[in-house]
Every structure is written in structure tokens, then in C-alpha cells.
Amino acid sequence: MPRHPPTPDIRTSNAPPSHLKTLQGGGTQVRWCIPEAANAALVASCTAAVAGANTQGVTFSCVAGGSEEACLEAIRNRTADLLTLGGEGI
């Protein structure tokens, strides 16, 4: 019978979860999609608000999506990363 290498136990792994490895990479941009029409002042205000979460390797900014559906499409197309939905949008 062939022997297979042991399966690593992910509960004891010292490696960070994959989503953390992505964010810890240098120069990572995280774009928060706001479901509002293209409004430069609103996007700038949102970007200023989320800038407090910036770290050495991660920069947050906002992009205008136009609607919740458009923001979801932007996430699928990788032109946005985050979207906050209300209870009715879930």
C-alpha cells in the first residue's frame, strides 16, 4: 500500500490565513465601493473617513458604484473590494 505524506493540521499551522497574507503584502489597495452616483465630493469624504484604517502595507479608498448591484459587479470585476449592504440588500 502506498504511503502518503501526513496531511498538515491547519489548526496548528503558524502561517496566517490566506486573506491576511493578501492584506499584509506591501502596497495593497482596498477599494470600498459606495452605492452612490459618481460624486467626487462624496468619494473624497468617504476616502478621508476610511484613511484612519490605513497601515504601512494597506491603503483604503472609496469608489463610486452607482448602486448596490453595480458595486457587486465591480467586486466581481476586481475594480472594488468591499461593499456594505443593509439588511434589505442581503
Instruction: Report pLDDT digits (tens) over 36-62.
Output: 777 788 888 888 888 888 888 888 898
Instruction: Report pLDDT digits (tens) over 13-30.
Output: 555 444 444 444 456 889
CA distance to 2, 24, 49, 89, per residue, from 61 (Å): 52, 17, 9, 22
Instruction: Assess contact for 68 and 33: CB atoms under 8 A.
Output: no
Per-residue pLDDT at 88:
66
pTM of the predicted model as reported, rounded to 2 decimal places: 0.62
* Ranges of each domain in the chain: 26-89
